[in-house]
Amino acid sequence: MKQLLSGNEAIARGAWEAGVQYASAYPGTPSTEILENFARYPGIRAEWAANEKVALDNAIGASFGGARTIAVMKHVGVNVAADSLMSVSYTGVFGGLVLVSADDAGAFSSQNEQDNRNYARFGKFPCFDPADSEEARQYVGVALDLSEQFRTPVMLRTTTRLSHSKSAVEVSPPTERAFEPLPPFKREKEVTRVIIPAVARKRHPEIEERLRQIAEWAETAPVNRIEWGDKRLGIVTVGIAYQYVREIFEGFSILKLGMSYPLPMKMLRDFAEQVEQLIVVEELDPFVEDQLKAAGIAVAHGKDIFPMCGELTLAKVRAGAVKAGLPVAPIPPAVPPIDEVAIPARPPALCPGCPHRAFFYNLSRQKRKVMIAGDIGCYSMGVLPPFQAMDMLISMGASIGMAHGFKQAGGQEKAVATIGDSTFFHSGMAPLASAVYNRSNITVAILDNRITAMTGQQENPGTGKTLQGQETQEVDITAVVEAMGVKYVKEVDAWDVEAVGKTLKEATAFEDGPAVMVVKGACVFIPEYKPLPRLEVIADQCIACGLCFKVGCPAILKSEEVFEKTGKPKAVIDPLLCTGCTVCAQVCPTDAIVPMESDYMAGR
């Protein structure tokens, strides 16, 4: 039956069909749904690891034991896992091992738009680049076979556009399958799974030879194919870019690469010789283009006309082609944008009821005296109005290390690091140990919303639930922090505005090593969150002071009614959005915000 599957659903499906029996991942847009979907298939184990390096290490252990396995992460996650990745290329694999890297061309929800195909060349392993969901499904199996044939780790690269678009895939309902234990572990005479220098030196030339052989394999692999057409123009393309090419350059000759590394150079050279003019269309870096040029193949156009930055689109490919005088249809006329009225931006905001709100409200009021090192999660929105309470943010787990470094270098202000529960487990524990060890008086606010929220509410070591929904041991953040020797540790209710403010003051005043406050309260999207009766503003009592607008809640709107003395708009609460968290009511100086009399939504 033909079914619409997203690229991510298709990768999960392909992995299951190809006999993957263990998968490990750390969530991250656009990769997250791969494991969430894989986890639903029978006869497999799937887990959230604490971070991407752990995920890859898990997969390496599984592969070394003989299992087929995948490790899944977003592009920047590969940076975290890179240490192991580089060396598992040297040791080689046993059971097939595929690293799924979900790149974010366009940086829709990431800190950068790095092109992870570069890792393939760097680490000397192959990289597959599917162009739609059906290919995504198939390539997982091809990649696993190749991984076992050449004993190499393999990267399967998707991008946001592929991961989050749906196309038709031929699938039948999954059949039952039982989980199979591995055969007894075989210790080899000559160690290859222990990457000591002597092994590394011996393996390096073998890796170079392996790569040469894989390039040979690529020459005839069906994933690379030529669609002959008009030979006045030949287009080399790879991944999702193929979809734009086949529409814009309809009728011309296309060499569609299913893998970007290593390249089938003979095939490419033959193609180049048979077409009048060769161009390369690929997203982000000139990865294929540079390899062609280095091989002496003439490339008429590539990154000179197609943008290096951002996601490719039909419009960008057409615009580049038109500019270079290539034979394509002209840019379609579009209706003009609206300029007679100003269209306000719609920036993301903390949800109504969000447990991060009271903390950032307090932090923004105390921010004159502090420097704030932020981290990655929903709370990154602390940088936006009305809070504007974040001064630095660089990568996951970096907040604590940055705050410490700032202080140790002689920073005069108090340094506050804000970090989420998932991020704390991901990479916050090592820098906290380091700060305790080196004795800086930083404040660390662990914003424990009981879930990995920003990526769509995934469980983590602190939540007491596994990816597959089983109850498990919950790692207690406060106990971990205490065990590290932190002398000020305090848990505080996330919605108690005054208590959060008081704790923040105490923590920043603490002068005997790092002070840690654990701000506890569940994200509104998980069952642990209990909505209260919704609130309303008693208009007669509202003096339009604007304080409640400072909590940055999407449910608090400016009323059409104004306060006569000042002419300023009063507040009104959107009952469709309010969850009754009371943060606004707590900051209101006239107690004008009260629960609705009888709220049918209460206790939903």
Partner 1 sequence: MTIERLNMLFVGVGGQGVLTASDIAAQVGLDLGLDAKKSEVHGFAQRGGVVESHVRWAPVVGAPICEKGTVDVLVAFELLEAARWIDWLRVGGTVVVNTQQITPMSVSVGDAVYPEKEALLAALRKRAGRVVAVDALPIAEQAGSTRTMNTVILAALSTLLETPPEVWERAILRRVPAKYGEVNRVAFRLGREAAGA
Ligand X SMILES: Cc1ncc(C[n+]2csc(CCOP(=O)(O)OP(=O)(O)O)c2C)c(N)n1
Closest by alpha carbon to 22, among 50, 62, 53, 54? 62
CB of 342 to partner 1, least distance (A): 7
CA distance 340 to 322: 31
Binding flag, residue 247, partner 1 (CB under 8 A): yes
Which residue stretch of 290-298, 414-422, 492-500, 571-579 sits at the interface with partner 1 (rule: CB under 8 A)? 571-579
CA distance 581 to 597: 16
Half-sphere exposure of 380 (CA within 13 A, CB side): 21
Answer whether 10's CB lies under 8 Å from 134's CB: yes
Binding letters toward ligand X, positions 211-230, x by CB under 6 A: --------------------
Answer whether 29's CB lies under 8 Å from 453's CB: no
Buried b / exposed e across 106-124, counting CB within 10 Å, b at 16+? bbeebbebbbbbebbbebb
Q: Which does 376 bind (CB under 5 to 8 A by kind): partner 1, ligand X, ligand SF4, none?
A: ligand X
Binding flag, residue 457, partner 1 (CB under 8 A): yes
CB of 31 to ligand X, least distance (A): 8
CB of 284 to ligand X, least distance (A): 18
Q: Which of 525, 594, 595, 596 binds partner 1 (CB under 8 A)?
A: 525
Q: Token digits for 294?
A: 């280095």
H helix or E strand, kind and range, residue 296: none
Residue 221 backbone zone (phi > 0: left; psi -120 to 50: alpha; other: beta): beta
Where in 66-106 does DSSP place strands (E)?
Answer: 69-74, 97-103
Considering the complex, state which of residue 74 and residue 356 has its C-beta at the smaller distance from ligand SF4.
356
Q: Which does 166 bind (CB under 5 to 8 A by kind): ligand SF4, partner 1, ligand X, none?
A: partner 1
DSSP characters over 435-448: HHHHT---EEEEEE
Considering the complex, state which of residue 76 and residue 131 has its C-beta at the smaller distance from ligand X.
76
Residues 6+ away with beta carbon under 8 Å from 345: none
CB of 133 to partner 1, least distance (A): 9
Q: Which of 176, 188, 190, 340 binds partner 1 (CB under 8 A)?
A: 340
Strands 252-257 and 225-227: antiparallel
Residue 36 Cα to chain centre, angstroms: 14
DSSP class of 539 = G
Binding flag, residue 300, partner 1 (CB under 8 A): no
Residues that bind ligand SF4 (CB under 6 A): 350-351, 354, 356, 378, 449, 453, 523-525
Binding flag, residue 111, partner 1 (CB under 8 A): no
Considering the complex, state which of residue 158 and residue 452 has its C-beta at the smaller distance from ligand X.
452
CB of 269 to partner 1, least distance (A): 27
Sites for ligand X among residues 406-465 (CB under 6 A): 420-423, 449, 451-455
Max Cα-Cα span within the chain: 88
Residue with tokens 């290919």: 135
CB of 427 to ligand X, least distance (A): 8
The residues of the shown chain that bind partner 1, judged by CB under 8 A, are: 2, 4, 29, 108-109, 132, 160-161, 164-168, 243-244, 246-247, 313-315, 318, 331-338, 340-352, 354, 378, 381, 384-386, 453-457, 525, 549, 552, 554, 556-558, 574, 576-577
The residues of the shown chain that bind ligand X, judged by CB under 6 A, are: 26-28, 52, 74, 76-77, 80, 111, 376-379, 396, 420-423, 449, 451-455
